[in-house]
Structure 1
Amino acid sequence: MSARLNSARTRAALHTSARVSGELLLVVVLSVAVLWLLGRMWPVVWPLVIGLLLTTLTWPPTRLLLRRGLPPALAASLVTVLFLLLAAGTVALIAVPVASQSGELADGVVAGIDRLREWAAGPPLNIGEDQIADALDSAAARVQDSAGSIATTAVTGVTTVFNGVVTAVLALFLMFFFLKDGPRFLPWLERQLPGRLATDVPVVAARCWNTLGAFVRSQALVGLIDAVLIGLGLWFLGVPLVLPLAVLTFVSAFVPIVGALFAGLVAVLIALVSNGLTDALIVLALIVVVQQVEGNVLQPMIQSRGLGLHAAVVLLAVTLGGSLAGIVGSLLAVPVAALIAVIWNYLREQLSDPQQEPDLVPASDGSP
């Protein structure tokens, strides 16, 4: 004989479900509103994010100078100037060797094109000079027909470069102010917030700052491993410009997906021009293997240890961020996931029941 439903318990369960659903819907609406607001403020948020990431890199030497007794403004100025010199030196380390060997590379490109034409003219393709000329004429005609779209693309590219320069300048200024006034931020924040927030928000902010530092350090370690492995492979094969290519690989590690593709493409092209097709294929295989090991093994392991995230969470975060916001989403996915984990862990600490110490049972003989 089946038991009948209790009407009071059923109504209570429905009321609880409705209340929880309403609260979850309110949280979702609030989250969407926050994301929309961030999207509207993105020209300000993006330089702020870059400035914070740069500050995590430059804060250790600034802290060392502050401990040596230098004023905050002087310490921040010195570190900012040293950072700019290091960035300029990195660019020069890549550009100068490339410029010095540009003639050889240009000759290699011409020779490579000639070899490609000779190969295309032979079996099995048997493409004649007339067919190649017709293909070039057809390509030129298409370029002329799409001159308007090309001009629009060029204008868009110039606008993107200009916005990138403005963002970089703002990020550098923000980095300087963060370095100079960073230690005074949390005490100031405590004075501005009322009640419990004066304690909770500074603690969460300090933990988030440590998490961002762990992310940048882990990303730098991954880039260094990539640069060393790929640089050794290029050196073993006798590919020119090994040091600039290694530096480019390290720098590009901070830009997910596109950075690795760009650095790999440059290395393969230089190997093709200077050493031939066989070495270029070997370099391509080396880069693919290193990038696969880095993306699927090293990066999740290193970042999971430094950020307190499981390797699977890191992979899923990068995939989700890339699908939602492209390159920027891939770049920010892991630190955002780590910051969410920090906030969640703090909320769980505050909402959990405190562990009660076991009561001390006095001995029956009266001894302590």
Structure 2
Amino acid sequence: MSAKLSSAKTSAALRRSARVSVELLLVLLLTAVALWLLGRMWSVVWPLIVALFLTTLTWPLARFLRRHGWRPALAAAVVTVLFLLVAAGIVALIAVPVASQSGELTDGVVEGIQKLREWASGPPLNIGEDEIAGAFDTAVTRVQDSLGSMVTAVGTGVSTVFNGVVTAVLALFLMFFFLKDGPRFLPWLTRQLPGRLATDVPIVAERGWDTLGAFVRSQAFVGLLDAVLIGLGLWILDVPLVLPLAVLTFVSAFVPIVGALFAGLVAVLIALVSNGLTDALIVLAIIVVVQQLEGNVFQPMIQSRGLGLHAAVVLLAVTLGGSLTGIVGSLLAVPAAALIAVVWNYVREQLSDPPQQPETDDSPTGAPVPS
């Protein structure tokens, strides 16, 4: 009798396991299809994501103007124009000082190359001028042989720049419409969804908006911290163009991996051509230390506190996103993980607590944005 009961329990357990396995496979299949569709629509999805990031930065000002009697269209237009002016001012703050000292920097680069050749020709390397000239000729020959691939690369770069400009323009227009019509979204969505979804989806969207805002604010704070620390080190070493380099460091913080490398390379190059090799090495050491502190201490701690994620989860998300889709994956990994956590927490709440009625507010998604 016990053997029969045991056999029945085993069969029931196997059937449940098989059913759960099939359901998991269906979920994975639907996820793969959704990711494939997302990739096919990426030219539209990416400007939408950028616009959402920009809206989280500019919405507090737009909300302030709306609460003081400004019409939504006028408030959105003023905020969009101010954002463009600030962005243009940042570019000018970086470009104008660099352009004014471009001649000095060029002379310094040439002098640095000459010093490098003199150092290579002396001990301990003792490389002769003929060998240096031969290596240079070999490099020129290789460049000429690969001219076709270089032209292709240049064409790809031009296409990338053009796509970036199109994305920026489209994101600005979307940001304007989000600022203008965003508070109408959740009421409209509530009317379109049937049954329980009319309650669940707006609440998740509201919490997702708060999470996205927390991510952008934490990223801006980390960039500001990097700019202050690196700028202070450059100022102590009396490196020129301290303010443009600090601004460049802040802006590049929003572009993971490549942004930090680019800003650090520019700072080291300017220190090399203006102050010499010793100060350039010191600047390099400062940048490496600050970037290590940012990636392993500041960013995980700040983002984990603002997004409700453990620091280890933030590090793993960035690593996974970068390994899957490169720079874009690194940029979107943390907010994606935070949004997944928002959905999971809401599902867990609904399984344990009675559903709560959503609260509406004057925000681009109907969500209250912290002041």
| d(CA) in 2 for partners of 1:254, 1:217 | 11
Tell me which residue corresponds to 1:242.
242
Q: Percent identity?
A: 82
Tell me which residue corresponds to 1:32.
32
| d(CA) in 2 for partners of 1:353, 1:341 | 17
Q: Offset at 1:3?
A: 7.7
Q: Offset at 1:5?
A: 6.9
Tell me which residue corresponds to 1:222.
222
Q: Residues 141-152 of structure 1 correspond to what in structure 2 (within 5 A)?
A: 141-152=141-152
RMSD value, Cα:
1.3
Q: Residues 185-200 of structure 1 correspond to what in structure 2 (within 5 A)?
A: 185-200=185-200
Q: Residues 4-83 of structure 1 correspond to what in structure 2 (within 5 A)?
A: 6-83=6-83
Q: Offset at 1:196?
A: 1.1
Q: Residues 66-145 of structure 1 correspond to what in structure 2 (within 5 A)?
A: 66-145=66-145
Q: Residues 139-178 of structure 1 correspond to what in structure 2 (within 5 A)?
A: 139-178=139-178
Q: Offset at 1:134?
A: 1.4
SS at match of 1:343: helix
What 5-or-longer segments of structure 1 have no aligned partner? Answer: 356-368
Q: Offset at 1:125?
A: 1.4
SS at match of 1:255: coil
| d(CA) in 2 for partners of 1:23, 1:194 | 24
Q: Deviations over 1:68-121 (max 9, x none)?
A: 100000000000000000000000000011011111111111111111111111
SS at match of 2:79: helix
Correspondence 1:272 to 2:306 = no
Which TM-score applies when normalising by structure 1? Answer: 0.94
Q: Residues 196-211 of structure 1 correspond to what in structure 2 (within 5 A)?
A: 196-211=196-211
Q: Offset at 1:126?
A: 1.4
With CA pairs under 8 Å and 6+ residues apart, which has the higher RCO, 1 or 2? 2
Q: Residues 305-320 of structure 1 correspond to what in structure 2 (within 5 A)?
A: 305-320=305-320
Q: Deviations over 1:126-154 (max 9, x none)?
A: 12222222112111111111111111111
Q: Offset at 1:4?
A: 8.2
What 5-or-longer segments of structure 2 have no aligned partner? Answer: 356-371
| d(CA) in 2 for partners of 1:4, 1:116 | 85
**Greater displacement, 331-340 / 345-354:** 345-354
| d(CA) in 2 for partners of 1:132, 1:139 | 11
SS at match of 1:6: helix
| d(CA) in 2 for partners of 1:10, 1:194 | 40
| d(CA) in 2 for partners of 1:168, 1:229 | 30
| d(CA) in 2 for partners of 1:353, 1:48 | 34
**Greater displacement, 5-14 / 251-260:** 5-14
| d(CA) in 1 for partners of 2:106, 2:275 | 14
Q: Offset at 1:353?
A: 4.8
Give the ranges of 4+ consecutive aligned residues of structure 1 lying more than 3 Å apart after TM superposition: 2-5
**Greater displacement, 175-184 / 106-115:** 106-115
Correspondence 1:252 to 2:258 = no
| d(CA) in 2 for partners of 1:4, 1:176 | 69
| d(CA) in 1 for partners of 2:121, 2:22 | 71
| d(CA) in 2 for partners of 1:335, 1:354 | 28
Q: Deviations over 1:333-363 (max 9, x none)?
A: 00000000001111111111559xxxxxxxx
| d(CA) in 1 for partners of 2:93, 2:41 | 36
SS at match of 2:98: helix
| d(CA) in 1 for partners of 2:196, 2:3 | 49
* Structure with bigger gyration radius: 1
Tell me which residue corresponds to 2:363.
none
Q: Deviations over 1:212-265 (max 9, x none)?
A: 000000000000000000000000001000000000000000011110111001
SS at match of 2:217: helix
SS at match of 2:74: helix
**Greater displacement, 122-131 / 165-174:** 122-131
SS at match of 1:205: helix
| d(CA) in 2 for partners of 1:3, 1:225 | 68
Which TM-score applies when normalising by structure 2? Answer: 0.94
Tell me which residue corresponds to 2:301.
301
| d(CA) in 2 for partners of 1:14, 1:337 | 33
| d(CA) in 1 for partners of 2:169, 2:109 | 36
